[in-house]
Structure 1
Amino acid sequence: MIRTCPSCQTKNRIPAARLSDVGRCGACKVTLPPVAEPLEVDAAEFGEIMRSSKVPVLVDFWAPWCGPCRMAGPEVARAAATVAGRALVLKVNTDQQPELAGRFGVRGIPHFVVLRGGQVVVSQAGLVRGAQLIDWLGRAGMKPKATAA
């Protein structure tokens, strides 16, 4: 996966297993925080992340023409920011990745799937709030948010 450094704009290659970790820019050495936004992935990237992820993964199956999917977008983005470093959030465009949607039995969108170690923990179609998405990730074993002492 490629992440752009917010400081110097250098593109950094981040292994899929490290997307939930804090890293460093290869050029300017500034800290790169864990991924805090939904990642749009294709089937190959999805497979790589599933094989190596150390944290639960929420997948938002969607399409650009879908009104409820567009309504879910901000909730999914807020959830991704909230769970950064403790879970990953992926977006799969069902128009571009129909075989991936079929593998998970997606018949209506938006459709959300939560996986842990490649195994489905939750699968539900329909519009849901960000708090529900976060709750599902917790049920999949997401670590609680660290509290300041």
Structure 2
Amino acid sequence: MSDSLHLVCPKCQAVNRVPTARLDQQPNCGQCHQPLFTGHPVELTAATFARHLERNDIPLLVDFWAPWCGPCKTMAPAFVQAASMLEPRFRLAKVNTDAEQTLGAKYSIRSIPTLILFRGGRELARQAGAMTVQDIARWARSH
């Protein structure tokens, strides 16, 4: 890992440069002064997705879901818990495929929920189906 990392603020989308040594010290955004990690997944839209994908130096774990999906609703609390376990080593995010159909199509989402792990703008791994918090954390860390 380098001496500093670029992290996108979940509130204002500013790119922050954070010393790696300070990653575990609840860093705040230099622009809006809000926490860079909140223990909750970030809701991404087509407008914010690319910035988080391309500018975060930590892996981005995205839950592609829809409001009508039973397994998505079942997994949602586990994904929130996973955020508090995996941050600040991972950025967890959610994409509503009903509202963001272009993202669902771009990443060929065929079933939901689907988790995709990205690093450096590239897809590393994909997993379809609801998972427990332990399974989400184990799966993310294994890649």
1:15 aligns to what? 14
Larger radius of gyration: 1
Once the two structures are superposed, the pairs formed by residues 84-103 of structure 1 within 5 Å of their partners are 84-103=87-106
Q: 1:42 aligns with which of 40, 45, 57?
A: 45
Cα RMSD after superposing both structures: 2.6
The range that moved more, 63-72 or 32-41, is 32-41
Residue 45 of structure 1 and its aligned partner are, at CA, apart by: 0.6
% identity of equivalent residues: 30
Q: Which amino acid aligns with 2:48?
A: E
1:119 aligns to what? 122
Q: 2:35 aligns with which of 32, 35, 39?
A: 32
Give TM-score, length-normalised by structure 1. Answer: 0.75
> For this pair of structures, how many residues does the alignment match?
129
Gap runs ≥5 in structure 1: 4-12, 141-149
2:141 aligns to what? 138
Q: Is the 8 A contact 2:117 2:124 kept in 1?
A: yes
The range that moved more, 111-120 or 73-82, is 111-120
Q: Secondary structure at the match of 1:124?
A: strand
Residue 32 of structure 1 and its aligned partner are, at CA, apart by: 3.1
Residue by residue over 1:15-63, the C-alpha shift from the partner in whole angstroms, topping out at 9 and shown as x without a partner, is: 2456976116878x7x836232011110121100111111111100001
Q: Is the 8 A contact 1:40 1:90 kept in 2?
A: yes
